[in-house]
Structure 1
Amino acid sequence: MIRFLRIGAFILLGLCVLGGAGIVALQVAISRGAFTAQLDRALENATGRRITYGAIGVRFGLRPRIALSNTAIANIPGGSQPDFARIGRFEVTLALVPLIAGRVEIDSLFLSDAQIILERDAEGRGNWVFAAGREASSSGGGVSIASVEIESSRILLPGSPVGAIDIDTLHIARDTPEDPLELDGRIRLDGEALTIAARLGREADGALPLEAAVSGDGLHARAKGRWPHGMDTAGWSLDLDAEVDSAAVPRLAARFDRTLPPLGSLSLSARLGPGSPWPAMSDLTLRVGATDLAALLPGLRIARAELRAESFEAPATISAQGWRGTADLGLHATLPPLRRIMEEETLPIEATLTSGRARLDLSGPVQRDFDLSGTTFEARLTTPDLALLGPVPGVALPRMTGVTANARLRGLFTRTMQFDGLAITANALEASGDVRLTLAARPSLTGQVSARRLDLDALGGGAGASTVRRGAATRVIPDLPLPVAMLREMDASLRVAATQLVAGGTTWRDVSGTVALANGRLTVDPFAVTTPGGPVGGRLQIDASGAVPRVALRLDSRGRGLDMAALRRAFGVPAGFQGVAELALDLHGQGATTRALAATLSGEAGIAMVGGRFTGATALRIGPDLIRALLPRGTPSGGLALRCLAVRLSAENGVASSQALLMEGEFGRIDGSLALNLRDETIAARLLPDVRLMGVTVRAPVTIGGTLAEPRIGVEPGAALAHVIGDTVANRLWRSSTVEFLRGATGSTPPGGDCGPALTLARLGRAGTMPEAAATPIPLVPREIQGTAQEVVRGIGGLLGGRRR
């Protein structure tokens, strides 16, 4: 028995040795090409393609494996390249039992260092679909692949937006042809590393059930539906969802040669369906998360934005919410259908921007890349109050109600916006012009504006008037803040004009000026305006760059001068002068309020009038008493004729003194000296009326003291002066001729002299009209008949051959 066992063992060992030797001999024979022709026919029959290869190795067993190197698989007829694939290493593991039965079933396929091209022929058949060769097809055979493993390879996609897919690892498998195909791996899409997973069911009605997910650095995408065999296959659909975080957006845009502003996170959802040449799309929604657009426009932020389209053929809509500064912003826009956006270069757009109750409607053509910098929109703005829009440009805008504005707008959502053909109507304004607004840390405004009507009182809300009334009991100069806040917030270069301007309850006409504002320094030079009494012009400067604003004003009357009666009627001032006066101002000071500005006022001011009449009224509360003191005989109902009126005041640091103070007429002459302390509004004056009574000149000094609000007559000059001088100007003022006169230290004629020199001083040195020389009064002839007597004397002189004078 033992012997038979030993014989059986030796026989079995011999068979194994013979079998192993046979396998080795077969492998050597295959490697030397003994079966190359048969293998080529078998591969061609299995794939329907011509396959060439280099070295070949075979491993026998229950799962025979064939390994090929430098393999090339032919492409389908009409392919862009002759080879469907070129593979550095190609391994095929076969199923043994089907192979014994004459069928080729590939258990697994391994590719490494491969380059594969995926494309379709003219009939839409993909080159990745392998059909059996002639022999196999005659018997109904084919090829079945259970799994595919790919490493370190590349897939080319000609004609696709994505040119190539680099595969790090990719595994494709299904147990039987009826089972779903499962895919997972790591790939690089144009350099973007992605992890993919998909499940593809068996084809039915030209489509395959699909579930897929793709994830990468900052992005996730999902697809579910029926993947088409061809894009024109009926009945397929695919639901897509994708999210991209804010860091991945610019990176992905750059891979598609696009440049986007720094957007927040993106999410996309859509449904794809049959269509040609592009798939049909429906239920598209693109959302943008919170985005800081300060690089595009300082302070601009978007909370969210959304693009919606029912289909490629339906108009798309955009909505967004955000803010700039403290102003909330909203956007709603209607776009053309997405198919037009993809095919046409210029697209018509209608949009509405809102901020609170303000609304801006826009319409115009936009380039397909949505670059708005060169687009011109027809724009219409409506807002219940312009001040509500101040936070949008970042400046404090005045209150202006019922605003409607139209313009051609360029540069929307850029740093520089141009408003051409601007037309504004509001409760306080009707204007037109061309304006450019530059939005930066300091916004700037340039251009030209012409207003038919401008009501500054309505813009200011009347706050100034109430302030004046409250302070009128003790002070005359109101304590109003200077409007310098806006000067510190923006720059401007404007030519402005207004046909009608309302300010202080008074209508001004033909206002014009050139405004230059930079870094808090405002210059209006030149400016001109027609007051109720006549035209004036000059130059205004406000320097608000420092802690304390500085103001300088030069103002001169133009033409014949100012109609005093018209000014009295317009401003309600009871001072009774009739005639035409010349005005000259050259003043400067500093302070944040009108009262602080007056307390530092320096410069010159003068008023000169030739001819006219004095009616006797005065703005001072002591007016009636003062008139009786200056003109004992009173003022006739028709007033008194004037030869001249000349007043010039010189101010330094809020203390003003007269350099000329003269009124001369048929009543005689009144001159004197005046000092004002604008810091506390105290007054000191001594007036010398040279009044002729029955041909005799009467000189009776009149002194005034107290304050502008409460002046008093007959105050002792020294006591009045004590209220005027301050410690910073006491010495200068004490040495002046005005003070000497007030002290009564001299009996000289007060500064100003007669009409000629006094008028020259009042005009600040400029030449002007002078009155005719006054006739010598006839002694003992009453003032009331001096004119008639002078004519009689001149007539007698003529008869006697005398010289008229």
Structure 2
Amino acid sequence: VGDDLLTLDGLIGARPLERDTDIRFSVTAADLKGTMAAFGIVMEALPSGKLVSSGSIRSHGNYFSLDKMSTNFAGAKIDLAGRVGSFPSLNGTDLELRVSGADFARVLPAMDATRALDKPFSLDTKIRLKGDLLTITDLRFKVDATSLSADLETAMNPPLARGRFSITADSPDVFRLVPEDPEVSVSVTAPMTLRTGGDWSDTIWTFDELLFSLGKGALTVQGSIDRPPNFDNTDLSVSLDIASLRNLSPLAGRDLPADAAHLQFRLTGTQEAMTLQDFAGTFGDSDIAGSFVWRDTGKTYLDATFTSRRLNLAPYLPEPRDESEVPAPSSEKKTRVIPDTPLPMDALAKLEASVDFNFGEVVLKQRALKNVLLEASLHDGALLVTKFNFANTVGGSLSGAFSLRPVDGGGDLLLDVQGAGLTMGLPAESPEDLAALPTFDLDTVLAGKGRTVRELAGSLGGYVRLTSGEGRIHSSAMRYFTSDFLSEVLTTVNPFTKTDPYNSVKCTAILLAANDGVISGKPAAVMQTDRIQIFASATIDLKTEKLDADIKTVPQKGLGMSFSDLINPYTKLSGTLASPLLILDPKSALIEGGAAVATGGISFVAMRFKDRFLTAKDQCGKAIEESNAEFTAQREKYRPGTSK
């Protein structure tokens, strides 16, 4: 058929097949994968290539003999000899299999992980089936200089119900089989050895001992493990020692530090639960210890408790993405900013959990945290973070509580967060810049209900209070946190961000109250710098996302007329969160997404409230004082007994 050829010569037994069969055959397929596809059999993992196969099959009453069975495919040669027991039991099967080739990668599915396996390989083994016992003995597999030997014995009634195994493997450098990574500069030779043996029956696997070494690392496993749903026979001890994590860089895909590492734990089980106990690990100057319980009683239950004196993850984390690699935002114009995503209440109802983390210090790539604490639980679909806390290395701290409870097919949210001495992640190019940043205090309580994120936002009640004292902020910070539109607003309100490298802040107060999804503040923000004073009132309806804000900018006394002329005294924001509008002054132009549109003049609420603060010596303090009564009432409403 086409370029494919099948030749048969001899006799085929009719009834029964094994009585008179004596057949010689040969098969040639120019492209086996293409031939199979033509008959509707699609096997993407099958390599492309020519198939040539031949041999003879002869019946001997209770078995078939295979003679000169040879196949060449995808650069590999397969030889099979021996006998196959009669159907259907195949009892008496005794075969010898030999496979060899010059390129192991060619017979595997084409993928990046296999490209380094383009090396000579061979496989030899004996396969026997006697009664219900299948044995695979003298298995020898070799790729390049890496070799594996194994013996396997298993029952076949039912298949694989029980058995024994013995495996050994050796390699002078197993990394020769791992693709080179341009991100890894480490050149490592990794000798490998594996010695293991054991047995299995029903659901229980027992390791007499597993010893695996790679480079200067060693893994030891001993004991038994039982698979779900019954863990009653699980008792497994694991120990891992690595002289230098740097030797594992080719596996990690990036350079790792030359830190030693040690990990040990014990897995034990009951009829319903698996417990990770005696867990302890060290790597570099880090340590971690704890326990973990997984239980299945119709609903999955997790219980995790971990502690650490210091957890230094910085050397093991990838470098931050280059801003040039970040995908450009979609040009598609959104009509809403707050997503209509359902809250994950159904997923929460399927899990029970208890978490207790207590870390003295956690070091990340760009920051370090101290006194990291998390106490949380998940029960009957209610997620409760009873306490969380962390501090930075410059005196700032953040703490609070959080809950999301199921109600009316949705969720009932309560968030209580308090912070002090926060730098808010403002960029600093030097230690001096970091020390000069203003520090912020945060106090917020928010509560809401809904089935989706949008519904929840549209019901929010509570407040947000964020205040700071004096400090110096690099002008780039104005662009660090904001979109192009907000950057335009900030530079319009404070034109000195375009010319001065730093902004000297005297104080900041952001004061927002939430009532039934309407966020408002009069004032919503007060800010004093060495050159200007900014006063803003705002209202945002989170149900509709409509925005209305008035901003008054006043030059500081003594600034001079030349600088004062640069300031837009009145600025207004309107529109929606998705399509905000910026008005430079009452008789100027409207900016919508960067395009100017003429207007006929607008009145400003800012004119009505700015005089109240201009006469105050501490304008931020006056605004904070005026908000205290309302915010205290909100806190007592949602978090009784927590107001100071």
For the superposition of Structure 1 and Structure 2, which TM-score range results when normalised by the shorter chain? 0.3 to 0.5
Provide the TM-score with structure 1 as the length reference: 0.38
Larger Rg, first or second structure (1 or 2) = 1
TM-score of the pair, normalised by structure 2? 0.47
Higher RCO structure, 1 or 2 (CA under 8 Å, sep 6+) = 2
